[in-house]
Amino acid sequence: MRLLQVSLRSSLIFSLLLVVVSIPVSLFSISALFNEEVDESMELHTQQFLKHIKSYANLDDLETDLEVLDQLSYDIDIKPSSNQMVSRAFRTTEIYDSVEHELRSYRELSNGVDIKGRHYVLTVRMALVDNKELILTIGLVQSFLIILLAAGLLLLNRRISKRLWKPFYKTLNQLKAYQLDRNEAIETDKTNITEFDDLNTTVRMLTDRNRKVFLDQKEFIENASHELQTPIAIFQSKLDLMMQNPSMSESEAGMISELEMTAQRMSRLNKNLLLLSKIDNDQFSTKEIIDVTWITKEILYDIKSMADVEAISISHDILPVEIMANRTLIEVLITNLLNNAVRHNVNNGFIRLSLNEGRLTIVNSGPKVQMPPEKMFARFSKESANTSSSGLGLAIVKRVCDSCGYKLNYRYEESHIFTVVF
């Protein structure tokens, strides 16, 4: 759920609750206020009535008049009472309305009065607002309010919030697309919101620092490999000199041979590391139209004698292909793939190479590997105890494909199948 929706939901729920609670509260307060007004008004009526009746006290047939008044006036009842003292009392009653055919609420005030020495009960009556109608009206008004509120909030949320959060989403999208090995820093706009500016500054600092560490590390690998070349060269040269000693025994020769193999391995490993870091550092960027067919045939020629040692047969189906690419990278790519096919093969195995427009496929026999295919292309991931394998060959293949934008596929169907789509 998005942050905007969460805040919107909370404010919506709160306003809804508020409106719902406000319905009974307003209902009670309005009717209480109204009753109070009605009571006051009835008391006034009673006083006025008594005041006026006093001025008619000299009339002889006042008794009859009062009876007529009682009959004619709907709001006022005045009835003779036998009771000496009727106390003052308010009450709410319901009287049948013959026009509307329903019961209506009334408020009544009864007082015991003495007129010309006779006891009367004076009742003043006023109609009350219909409770049902009141509820209905208030409910209607409040519902309208709720709709207005919700619509307003939603609209505000859409309009203002979207604009408000725009810098945040921009930064977020940039972070999503950010790749350490690409050459671009994160660009942020200045917003007037402190939090976003803070966020942007932090993000920029973080990515810049990561990038610096990454570049330093890349440079370190390249420098370390370079620095190692000279000591290995010295080591190698001393071995070459020792080899020339004519009085060497056979066991000494064996030892020197083993040392030389080791030196060779170090040198190979180092050269491959250097190659990897050079690919990473985009040092093979010059492109030209190259004849892949010719390169492939040359490499096949080179590799044939190695394959012959283990009686691996090589068959190929090569069509003329020319692509725009870096020559060194293409040579490295094909050489490493073929080396891999020879190295991880079996005696009397086979290699089948097919090259056609936009696609190079190399199939070789060999036992199934246990590690997952994606691990095969990681640096130094070796499965066999084949110590002379540097564990960098396929990593180099992967890096070349990545940097050239080629698609590299591997699958195992009784044999290893590598496909490069140019």
Please enumerate in sequence order all residues whose Cβ is within 8 A of that of 2, keeping only pairs 6 or more positions apart, or say none.
Answer: none
According to CB under 8 A, which one of 390, 394, 420, 422 is a site residue for another protein?
A: 390
- Tracing tokens 């709001």 back to the chain, one arrives at 75
276 binds another protein per the rule CB under 8 A:
no
- String of contacts with another protein for each residue 245-274, x by CB under 8 A: ---x-x--xx-xx--xx-xxx-xx--x--x
The DSSP-derived string for 228-239 is HHHHHHHHHHHH
Write down the least CB distance from residue 230 to another protein, Å: 5
Q: Of 85-93, 188-196, 333-341, 350-358, which part binds another protein (CB under 8 A)?
A: 333-341
Closest CA to 344 of 321, 370, 322, 326: 370
Given strand 313-318, what is the order of strands in its sheet?
A: 313-318, 350-356, 359-364, 416-421, 407-412
Q: Which is nearer to another protein, 15 or 328 (CB)?
A: 328
293 near another protein (CB under 8 A): no
Q: For residues 107-125, b (16+ Cβ closer than 10 Å) or e, as one string?
A: bbbbbbbebeeebbebbbb
314 forms part of the interface with another protein (CB under 8 A): no
Our finding on whether 331 is near another protein (CB under 8 A) is yes
Q: What is the separation of C-alpha 28 from the centre of its chain, rounded to a whole number of angstroms?
A: 48
Report helix, strand or coil for 37: helix
Judged by CB, which is closer to another protein: 239, or 378?
Answer: 239
Whole-number Å distance between alpha carbons of 362 and 421: 12
The terminus-to-terminus CA distance of the chain in angstroms comes to 42
Q: Would you count residue 309 as binding another protein (CB under 8 A)?
A: yes
Cβ-based nearer residue to another protein, 120 or 377: 377
Subset of residues 197 to 226 that bind another protein, contact rule: CB under 8 A: 226
> Would you count residue 277 as binding another protein (CB under 8 A)?
no
CA–CA dist 343, 306 (Å, integer): 9
CB of 200 to another protein, least distance (A): 39
Residue closer to another protein, measured from CB, 57 or 241: 241
Please, which residue, 296 or 339, has the CB nearer to another protein? Answer: 339
Coil, strand, or helix at residue 117? coil
- 229 contributes a contact to another protein by CB under 8 A: yes
Residues near another protein (CB under 8 A) are 226-227, 229-230, 232-241, 243-244, 248, 250, 253-254, 256-257, 260-261, 263-265, 267-268, 271, 274, 278, 283-284, 299, 302-303, 305-306, 308-310, 328, 331, 335-336, 339, 342-343, 386, 388, 390, 393
